[in-house]
Amino acid sequence: MKFRCEREALAEALSTAGRAATGRTGALPVLSGLRLELVGDRLSITGTDLDLTIQLTLAVGGEGDGGVVLPARLAADIVRSMGAGKIEVAVEGDEVSIGGGRSQFSVRPLSFDDYPKLSTPTTSSVTLPAAAFGEALRQVVRAASTDEARPILTGVLLTAENGGLRMVATDSYRLAVRDIAEHQVLGADQKVLVPGRALSELQRLVGAGEELTMRLGDRDATFEVGDTRLSTRLIEGEFPNYRQLIPTSHPNTLTVEREPLLEAIRRVKILAKDATPVRLQMGGDTLRLTAITQDVGNASEELDATYEGTDLTVAFNPEYFASGVEACSSDSITLSTLDALKPAVVRGVGNDDYLYLLMPVRVP
């Protein structure tokens, strides 16, 4: 087995597939590798930890079909370190040579026979515009938990809603809901729970293609963008009843420009040390942001805003608040509240397809 490929293309492919290769101790050793298989001039590169699989196909100059498993991180580091131009990879007995220019490396492969056999999805598919789905991922995945002790909350719920697709994520401190209209991915009352980690990786991929093909099975989901396929096991279990968390009325509504608000949060939170909340004082035609950290100092900033309701001070985790504001795609956002202790809702003005709910922080 031998092939030649441009360094940049090969480095990118190894890095992308390598994000699915496991680095966990105690896992099957061969899963720390990438499976390379050459057929003609098409090279397939696969990485998996059995929960998440990423497979890419590259056009190369091939000489002799065959397959090999290379240590994922080592192979990516070697190719990335080499100069621009063609890279030649050749399997010679129990060694794999990787060369380019005046650089030459020799690597011991992992067992090709021990690499798990991965099935090809056979379920029916639907096609979505990659840009729209990628934007939805950007807005929703950020709210999924990364705490493996609560696996249900590490997933993103995909469910049928009003003839379209709804995506929901929560880590119990915040909730993100995004609707994608006119794209029926699921049947009526059907819902699946996709790992947030897999969708984070998919978010990296969707910018590379115009269309996204999705296949949903009983236990797994597959997404295809161009020559890249990402597969993941679904999470089993019941997602929390998120609907009951969303307030039905908001007597207090603040409207403020998005970018100035984001800049003000970034400045004020410099003084918000050790998870110090940022206070929002709302009333009249201004919004005042304040952070007070004992024995460190304080910061405050005022912004022009429109406010309807009773004067109110509410406090939020600054990282979570900034994340919700940043996720909105409008020039201005609204912050709707009931009182200082009830969940607040952030929306983009003129965009009702996205909602970000945030729990306030109790302050003296």
CB atoms within 10 A of CB 187: 9
Query: Domain containing 9: what range?
Result: 2-107
Q: Look at the chain and report how many structural domains it folds into.
A: 3
| 254/357 Cα distance (integer angstroms) | 14
Residues 211 and 308 in one domain: no
Does residue 113 belong to any structural domain of this protein?
no
Residues 278 and 337 in one domain: yes
Task: Tell me the residue length of the chain.
Answer: 364
Does residue 286 belong to any structural domain of this protein?
yes
CATH number of residue 341's parent domain: 3.10.150.10
pLDDT of residue 208: 61
Order across the sheet with 297-304: list the strands. 297-304, 286-293, 278-283, 312-316
Does residue 363 belong to any structural domain of this protein?
no
Q: What is the DSSP string of 175-233?
A: EEEEEETT---S-TT-EEEEEHHHHHHHHHHGGG-SEEEEEE-SSEEEEEETTEEEEEE
Residues 299 and 259 in one domain: yes
Residues 240 and 251 in one domain: no
Tens-digit pLDDT string for the chain (364 aa): 999 999 999 999 999 999 999 777 567 899 999 999 999 999 999 999 999 999 999 999 999 999 999 999 999 999 999 999 999 999 998 999 999 989 999 999 999 999 998 877 767 788 888 888 999 999 999 999 999 899 999 999 998 887 788 999 999 999 999 998 876 677 777 789 999 999 999 999 987 668 999 988 889 999 999 999 999 999 999 999 999 999 888 899 999 999 999 999 999 999 887 778 999 999 989 999 999 888 889 999 999 999 999 999 999 999 999 999 999 999 999 999 999 999 999 999 999 899 999 999 998 7
Q: Which of 49, 73, 107 is the last residue of a domain?
A: 107
pLDDT of residue 209: 66
Residues 325 and 347 in one domain: yes
Does residue 117 belong to any structural domain of this protein?
no
Residues 147 and 71 in one domain: no
Residues 276 and 325 in one domain: yes
pTM across the whole model: 0.91
Residues 13 and 63 in one domain: yes
Residues 232 and 253 in one domain: no
